[in-house]
Protein backbone atom coordinates (compact mmCIF):
# COMPACT_ATOMS: atom_id res chain seq x y z
CA UNK A 1 0.00 0.00 0.00
CA UNK A 2 1.56 3.28 -1.13
CA UNK A 3 1.23 6.61 0.61
CA UNK A 4 -1.48 8.21 -1.52
CA UNK A 5 -3.37 10.43 0.85
CA UNK A 6 -2.21 13.43 2.83
CA UNK A 7 -3.00 12.01 6.27
CA UNK A 8 -3.00 8.40 7.43
CA UNK A 9 -4.28 7.18 10.75
CA UNK A 10 -2.80 4.07 12.33
CA UNK A 11 -2.77 2.52 15.79
CA UNK A 12 0.96 3.09 16.22
CA UNK A 13 2.93 5.27 18.61
CA UNK A 14 2.57 8.31 16.35
CA UNK A 15 -0.89 7.87 14.89
CA UNK A 16 -0.84 10.69 12.35
CA UNK A 17 1.55 11.23 9.46
CA UNK A 18 1.42 14.30 7.25
CA UNK A 19 3.29 14.72 3.98
CA UNK A 20 4.68 18.08 2.99
CA UNK A 21 4.20 19.11 -0.62
CA UNK A 22 7.93 18.56 -1.22
CA UNK A 23 7.75 14.99 0.11
CA UNK A 24 4.67 14.20 -2.00
CA UNK A 25 6.37 15.45 -5.19
CA UNK A 26 9.53 13.46 -4.47
CA UNK A 27 7.54 10.35 -3.55
CA UNK A 28 5.59 10.40 -6.83
CA UNK A 29 8.85 10.28 -8.79
CA UNK A 30 10.13 7.13 -7.04
CA UNK A 31 10.19 3.72 -8.67
CA UNK A 32 7.59 1.31 -7.21
CA UNK A 33 10.24 -0.83 -5.48
CA UNK A 34 11.75 2.21 -3.78
CA UNK A 35 8.29 3.53 -2.86
CA UNK A 36 7.55 0.23 -1.11
CA UNK A 37 10.78 0.58 0.90
CA UNK A 38 9.80 4.17 1.78
CA UNK A 39 6.41 2.93 3.01
CA UNK A 40 8.19 0.43 5.25
CA UNK A 41 10.51 3.17 6.55
CA UNK A 42 7.53 5.42 7.34
CA UNK A 43 5.91 2.59 9.33
CA UNK A 44 9.16 2.09 11.28
CA UNK A 45 9.35 5.80 12.05
CA UNK A 46 5.72 5.87 13.18
CA UNK A 47 6.38 3.00 15.59
CA UNK A 48 9.70 4.34 16.88
CA UNK A 49 10.23 8.04 16.05
CA UNK A 50 13.65 8.12 17.70
CA UNK A 51 15.03 5.71 15.07
CA UNK A 52 16.27 8.63 12.96
CA UNK A 53 19.32 10.77 13.65
CA UNK A 54 18.62 14.29 14.89
CA UNK A 55 20.44 16.94 12.87
CA UNK A 56 22.25 19.98 14.24
CA UNK A 57 22.61 23.62 13.25
CA UNK A 58 20.20 24.95 10.62
CA UNK A 59 18.32 21.65 10.55
CA UNK A 60 18.09 21.11 14.31
CA UNK A 61 14.38 20.20 14.22
CA UNK A 62 14.92 17.55 11.54
CA UNK A 63 15.39 13.83 12.03
CA UNK A 64 16.85 11.73 9.20
CA UNK A 65 16.34 8.00 8.77
CA UNK A 66 18.76 6.31 6.36
CA UNK A 67 17.99 3.11 4.47
CA UNK A 68 19.16 1.24 1.38
CA UNK A 69 16.91 0.54 -1.59
CA UNK A 70 17.89 -0.80 -4.99
CA UNK A 71 21.57 -0.62 -4.00
CA UNK A 72 21.43 3.09 -3.17
CA UNK A 73 21.35 4.99 0.12
CA UNK A 74 18.14 6.97 0.64
CA UNK A 75 17.38 9.53 3.33
CA UNK A 76 13.96 10.28 4.75
CA UNK A 77 13.71 13.59 6.59
CA UNK A 78 10.96 14.16 9.13
CA UNK A 79 9.98 16.36 12.05
CA UNK A 80 7.89 15.49 15.10
CA UNK A 81 5.08 17.19 16.99
CA UNK A 82 4.90 15.36 20.30
CA UNK A 83 1.83 17.24 21.48
CA UNK A 84 -0.47 15.66 18.92
CA UNK A 85 1.72 12.64 18.08
CA UNK A 86 2.28 13.84 14.53
CA UNK A 87 5.11 12.94 12.12
CA UNK A 88 5.70 15.45 9.32
CA UNK A 89 7.32 13.74 6.33
CA UNK A 90 9.57 16.51 4.99
CA UNK A 91 11.71 15.00 2.23
CA UNK A 92 12.86 11.75 0.63
CA UNK A 93 15.71 11.13 -1.77
CA UNK A 94 19.21 9.85 -2.36
CA UNK A 95 22.03 11.27 -0.26
CA UNK A 96 23.37 13.39 -3.11
CA UNK A 97 22.36 17.04 -2.48
CA UNK A 98 19.70 15.97 0.05
CA UNK A 99 20.65 18.53 2.71
CA UNK A 100 21.33 21.31 0.21
CA UNK A 101 17.89 20.86 -1.36
CA UNK A 102 16.23 20.63 2.04
CA UNK A 103 17.58 24.02 3.12
CA UNK A 104 15.88 25.73 0.16
* Structural domain contains residue 54: yes
pLDDT for residue 12: 44
Give pTM, 2 decimals.
Answer: 0.83
* Structural domain contains residue 95: yes
HSE (side-chain half, CA atoms, 13 Å) at 56:
0
Domain count, the chain: 1
CATH assignment of the domain containing 55 = 3.30.2310.20
pLDDT for residue 84: 82
Residue 46 is part of which domain span? 12-103
* Structural domain contains residue 77: yes
Sequential pLDDT tens for the chain (104 residues): 444 443 443 434 566 889 999 999 999 999 999 999 999 999 999 999 989 999 999 999 999 999 999 999 999 999 998 888 899 999 999 999 899 988 87
Would you say 74 and 63 are in contact if contact means Cβ atoms under 8 Å apart? Answer: no
DSSP 5: S
pLDDT for residue 6: 37
**Strand, coil or helix: 82:** helix
Cα-based torsion angle of the residue sequence 4, 5, 11, 17 in order, rounded to the nearest 10 degrees: 100
pLDDT for residue 103: 84
* Structural domain contains residue 5: no
Amino acid sequence: MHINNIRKVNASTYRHRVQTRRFARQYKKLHDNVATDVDDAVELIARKPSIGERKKGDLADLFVYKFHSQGQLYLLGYTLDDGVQLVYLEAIGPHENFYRDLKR
